Amino acid sequence: MDSLAAFLDAYGVAAACAIMLVKAAGVPVPIPGDVILLATAARAAEGKVALWFAFAVLLAALLLGGALQFYLARGPARRVVVKYGQRVGLTEQRLERVAGSVRRGGLLGIGVAVLTPGVRSAVVPACGLTGIAWRLFLPGLALGSAVDLGLHFAIGYAGSSILATIAQPSPLLIIPILAALGLAAWLVVARRRHASATVAFNAWAQATCPVCLSLGSVAPLQVEPAIRWSRAV
């Protein structure tokens, strides 16, 4: 246990940034992102990492990863996204729906989509594929990412004592247990919202905290279609 604590003290923020960077870039890492954010905030509450530093570097990782995915979807990886995105739930129809919503909502629409579990994984490639301008995409990405990060840091910081009590018997075991409970909850939400299991899994990979689950239960997991992009394959 001491070695685990030492590892987290030395590499916790760096590891969290690396994982969130990869996830934000569009790689389907099967780890709920909010678990990482909550754990980092809890460690900040314990004084093991500076809160402002953890927030700043994680926000930078989210923005860098999101910008990279957006750039790739606009050109270098356009064919790959269209051809293989359906394997992780990013079908052409779903991306069309998200892109239509974003075009109607502008900067605020992008921010809300980034903040919404179940839509977040589709909004970045949808913006890239449909040619949303950088000057609109980046502020929207920054807005949604900052609000999302701030909410999870507030929850993790305020609930650090509760998290510490729950994890005390076995810090390693509690992670898969919480992840499994979150996945089960998302499957229930998806079933009630008549969404697919793939949509539920993608939402779970983004967020499993009670606030996100509550948001997912009322926010649209899929939005209405509005436009099409020119086919890339």
Nearest to 213 by CA among 185, 194, 192, 232: 185
Tens-digit pLDDT profile for residues 7-56: 556 668 888 899 899 989 888 777 788 878 888 888 888 788 889 999 99
Question: DSSP string of 62-95?
Answer: HHHHHHHHHHHHHTTTHHHHHHHGGGGT--HHHH
pTM: 0.74
Tens-digit pLDDT profile for residues 107-160: 888 898 888 876 777 788 888 887 888 999 999 999 999 999 998 898 888 776
Residue 125 pLDDT: 83
Tens-digit pLDDT profile for residues 188-207: 877 777 777 777 777 777 66
Cβ proximity of 129 and 73 under 8 Å: yes
Using the structure block, give the residue that is written with the tokens 């509760």. Answer: 162
Nearest to 128 by CA among 19, 17, 26, 21: 26
Residue 189 pLDDT: 74
Query: Can you tell me the mean pLDDT for 66-81?
Result: 82
CA separation for the pair 64, 100 (Å, rounded): 24
